[in-house]
Amino acid sequence: MRTTLTAAIAGLIIGCASQLIAQQPAAPRPVPTSAWAPKPAKPPGYTSPQKPWVKLSDLKARHKGELTWRELVVDDGRLTAEYFSAAPGDRVSPRFHPDTRQWFAVVEGEVRVEIEGQAAIVATRGSLINIPRQTIYSVETIGTRPSLRFVVNVARAKTLFPHDGAAPSPVAGSTWQPVTINRTPARYDEFNQPHLNIHEAAAKNEKYSGGRFVRDDKSEMLVLYGHEKNLPPLDPSDKGHFHAESAEFWLVFAGKIRYAFEGQEPFIASEGDVAYVPANTWHATRYTGPDPSCRLSITEYVGNALLLEKK
C-alpha cells in the first residue's frame, strides 16, 4: 500500500512538473526589423591608449630585455585590458575584486592559478581563466620561461587584499585601511567557467567553434574559433556591422584574423595582437589563412545589438 501511494505521489509530481514546463512561454526569437539608426557622418575616432591595431611584436620590442613588464592597451572608461609579462617564479599574491569579475588569457608560458573553491589550475597557451567577483585568487608563473597574460576587467576596478599580514605596497594618493566585508564569492554558471583551453577543446571536437566564456552585467566575451575555408569568399565591399553604443575589441588568440574598419585600411592581425573599434563604426572581421584561427570578442554590453546595412 505504501509503495503504491509513493508511486502515485511521484506520478502526480512528475505530471505537475511536466504541465508547468509545458506552460512555460517559449524563448522569444529575434525579429528582423527595419529601423533608422543615427550614424555619425565621421567615425568617432580613437582616444589614447586605444588604437585600431596593437601588435604584440611592437610591445615585445619596446620591452626587449625585460622579463617582467606590463602595458595598458585598452582603457575606454568602461573596460580595461592590459598585458602582463612575468618572470618564472613571479607571483600575484592572493587578492579579490569586491564588485567586478576579472578574466585573463594566457598568450605565452605557464601559470598556476588558485581560485577560491576550485582545484588549482595549470594554465598554458590558449587558456582562459575566469575569476568571479569577491573570489580570492592568486597566480604564479611556473616553468622556465616568462608568462604573458592578457587581463581584462571593468575600468577603475578596485582590488582588495586579505588582511593576513602586512599592508600591501603603498599606492600613490591612498592609504591601506583595515576593513571588514561581508563577502560572498560569486558562483560559476553556464556562461562562466573557471578554465578553458581552446586548443584542447578543438582537439576534442573537430567542429569546435567557441562560445561565451564571460557573461555578466558589466561585460561579455565570446570565443570565436574557425577556419577561412568554411567561410564564403571574401567580399571587400562588405562593411560588416556596427554597434550603436558599445565599443568592441579583440585579442587574436590563434592564427590570423582580417579586420576591416571604417576609416582604416584593412589589416591582418596575428596571434597576440589586439584590435579595437569604437561604437558607431563599421567593422568586418573574418578568419584568414590555412590554419585555424581564434579571436576573443570583448564588448561593454551583454548581448549588445549589432546593426547591419539595409539592403
- The ranges assigned to domains in the chain are 64-154, 197-303
Q: Which three cell numbers stand for residue 65?
A: 630585455
In this prediction, residues 125-146 reach a mean pLDDT of 97
CB 107 within 8 A of CB 59: no
Where residue 166 falls among pLDDT bands split at 50, 70, 90? confident
pLDDT at position 244 is 93
Query: What does the block give as the cell for 40?
Result: 555619425
Q: How large is the average pLDDT for residues 145-163?
A: 96
What is the pTM assigned to this prediction? 0.90
Quick one: 89 exposed, middle or buried, by C-beta within 10 A (0-12, 13-18, 19+)? Answer: exposed
Looking up cell 567593422 gives 283
Contact assessment for residue 160 and residue 96, using Cβ atoms and an 8 Å cutoff: yes
CATH of region 197-303 = 2.60.120.10
Is pLDDT above 60 for 78? yes
Structure-block grid coordinates of residue 153 = 576587467
What pLDDT is recorded for position 146? 98
Asked if residue 38 has pLDDT above 60, the reply is yes
3-state secondary structure of 96: strand
Tell which CATH architecture fits domain 64-154: Sandwich (2.60)
pLDDT (mean) for 120-142: 98
pLDDT tens across 236-269, in order? Answer: 999 999 999 999 999 999 999 999 999 999 999 9
Over range 144-149, report the average pLDDT: 97
- Is residue 250 within 8 Å of residue 287, measured between CB atoms? no
Nearby residues of 7 by Cβ (< 8 Å), 6 or more positions away: none
**Is the fold of 64-154 the same as that of 197-303?**
yes
pLDDT of residue 4: 54
pLDDT given at position 311: 81
Mean pLDDT of the chain: 92
Residue 11: all three cell numbers together: 506520478
- pLDDT tens, 276-294? 999 999 999 999 999 999 9
Residue 15 has a pLDDT of 56
Can you read off the three cell numbers belonging to residue 262?
A: 571604417
Give me the mean pLDDT over the 22-44 stretch: 84
pLDDT at site 18: 54
pLDDT digits (tens, 9 = 90+) for 101-115: 999 999 999 999 999
pLDDT band at 19 (very low <50, low <70, confident <90, very high): low
Residue 301 pLDDT grade (very low, low, confident, very high; cuts 50, 70, 90)? confident
